[in-house]
Structure 1
């Protein structure tokens, strides 16, 4: 299923214009010579998104500021080639799997058998391995539905890929809704038990075109606790209350206000890079709100997932030159990754993250945009 996607440039309009439009065009080739397709989604309300079939990457996302001026609020590149190398694209906007975040020792035991994964983050496995879903070519199908324009991406991860058991069929649908949101619907089936944790790794910067760092952005997270980590950023297994700590975002706080506080957890990660335990059950529930006082842009995150990884761009250091020649400096973005908890295959007290045959996986995350 990991084919070339649709390559012919086309535009769906006519009566669909009232629900938005979608166009597609070739956008370069993968290192092995397969064609990449770039989809452009646009709503009558002024939202515009670009998504490519390589890595399922959200390349651009334009939203208006409080004065109605559009700006691109996600980090990335102007051409596909930098996305092929994680040193120039540390998961910018990409789909992550099979297992987002870290698995301790790159190892887990399932039904009495131990599986060894690539140790691509020190001794641990990170974001699906050496060639996770961010480094795969997906098939794409564009559409304009009642809710707005979108694209459905599919990929078949074969048994044994990156060490994971079972053939995993994955479908991810991006919809740019008429209500002013980006909705991401994840679905997967397997023919053998396997860990699954899917997310999108967009780097958000609400200034528009990444004009400055995000330390002045105000963040609210609907969480009473985090899963603290050890020095290798693997959860210790406990749930730690955020009250009285730099991780208390139950009320809006500037990201930069306490990111360098004298706190062991912040020292381990060089800032925020932690899983927040969200309030709410499996139904769609509020997770976070990000607001930029300078531009008035706001994004509200809702999800069916139990966790949210907040990452404050600690490893960005100015070495990556992104869109428009902009250098991405330290803490130039924040990631809000909806997810199951890190290392869940080795932490039985965490919400289960093993998918079984005959029990399809489904998940939804919504990023709703507004200004104030």
Structure 2
């Protein structure tokens, strides 16, 4: 196993983790942005399975949040405002009248302190960041850490931790767009997804949760026994159309000891499983991805990647009955998501 470091644009570091199987994971200390994950297909060919720019300068703006750590709060906060302990807080409105993914002062826009580490069977980097009270409009000075660990079992482990000196809101995630065809050989229409979820959250026309949960039975949102993403992309279901013809919804995950999510791409044979202790996941099928961005393996277009944003629900700030994003003062935030890669068939 090894870890390599490269200076980028004279201001960032690019880390590349390699395990004994040849799998590699590359990411920047800027935004914790994962730029490349190369894993074998059924013919043992290593290919990249995430979307990333050709030119590192394009990550400075990164309006699609490719590969980045998202925080303080992943997702949309209705009306860019919330109240904690009878105290109202206002945030930057960067998507219509709403707040998305931390806006311009989000974690995807900061240089994280980085500490590489290595053991006999793991290699990784711990990223640390301190966000001061009032930054971005959020209460509390918080200290957060995100650790990327690569194992010899082809697992990429993302550990998230944090504490705040005031009661605040926090739910972090990673915003990688996965495409298991490898090197963008195809869109994600035929990615077969199995997900342990009985309910998803209804969205309005501005992609804001209405406060209603919908049971997945007899809908294109029922992934419990598996289905292809094309089912929702081509669906005339109101919720698929609201999301710009696809998925951009929060799924509440069933509590299970098994993998929460399985993603299979038949042509390459690649299988990705996701296990998390987060209560839910936003699955986004890049329905509105801009066309013509200069990506490492070609130009961007809609449906070129699928995000699995494991997190709690910002809808909990305005509606009851959703997984909470509240972090009490001096309470430990401790979450983990594991992406495992293999071959099936």
The corresponding residue for 1:275 is 250
The corresponding residue for 2:6 is 25
Q: Specify which of 312, 327, 331 is matched with residue 355 of structure 1.
A: 327
Range 249-258 or range 328-337, more displaced? 249-258
Deviation, structure 1 residue 131: 2.4
Does structure 2 conserve the Cα–Cα contact (< 8 Å) formed by 1:119 and 1:129?
yes
The corresponding residue for 1:345 is 317
1:337 & 1:285 partners in 2: Cα distance? 18
The corresponding residue for 1:366 is 338
Q: Specify which of 206, 210, 213 is matched with residue 232 of structure 1.
A: 206
Deviation, structure 1 residue 237: 1.4
Q: Specify which of 83, 93, 101 is matched with residue 127 of structure 1.
A: 101
The corresponding residue for 1:59 is 35
Counterparts of 1:160-171 in structure 2, within 5 Å, are 160-171=134-145
Does structure 1 conserve the Cα–Cα contact (< 8 Å) formed by 2:232 and 2:247?
no
Match of 2:242, SS state, is helix
The corresponding residue for 1:77 is 53
After superposition, the C-alpha distances for 1:317-338 in whole angstroms (9 at most, x for unaligned) are 42212114x0111201111110
The corresponding residue for 1:16 is none
1:171 & 1:130 partners in 2: Cα distance? 20
Match of 1:236, SS state, is strand
Deviation, structure 1 residue 86: 3.0
1:356 & 1:108 partners in 2: Cα distance? 15
The corresponding residue for 1:184 is 158
The corresponding residue for 1:301 is 274
2:306 & 2:330 partners in 1: Cα distance? 36
Does structure 2 conserve the Cα–Cα contact (< 8 Å) formed by 1:73 and 1:210?
yes
Counterparts of 1:3-14 in structure 2, within 5 Å, are none
Does structure 2 conserve the Cα–Cα contact (< 8 Å) formed by 1:289 and 1:299?
yes
- Please state if 1:86 is matched with 2:65: no
Counterparts of 1:33-44 in structure 2, within 5 Å, are 35-44=11-20
2:258 & 2:142 partners in 1: Cα distance? 27
Alignment length, in residue pairs? 343
2:60 & 2:157 partners in 1: Cα distance? 25
2:234 & 2:65 partners in 1: Cα distance? 24
Q: Structure 2 length as normaliser, TM-score?
A: 0.97
2:67 & 2:62 partners in 1: Cα distance? 12
Q: Specify which of 168, 173, 197 is matched with residue 194 of structure 1.
A: 168
Deviation, structure 1 residue 289: 0.8
- Please state if 1:328 is matched with 2:300: yes
Does structure 2 conserve the Cα–Cα contact (< 8 Å) formed by 1:275 and 1:342?
no
Does structure 2 conserve the Cα–Cα contact (< 8 Å) formed by 1:246 and 1:259?
no
Does structure 2 conserve the Cα–Cα contact (< 8 Å) formed by 1:285 and 1:304?
no
User: Structure 1: which 4+ aligned runs deviate by more than 4 Å?
Assistant: none
The corresponding residue for 1:109 is 83
Match of 1:75, SS state, is coil
2:232 & 2:76 partners in 1: Cα distance? 25
1:177 & 1:327 partners in 2: Cα distance? 31
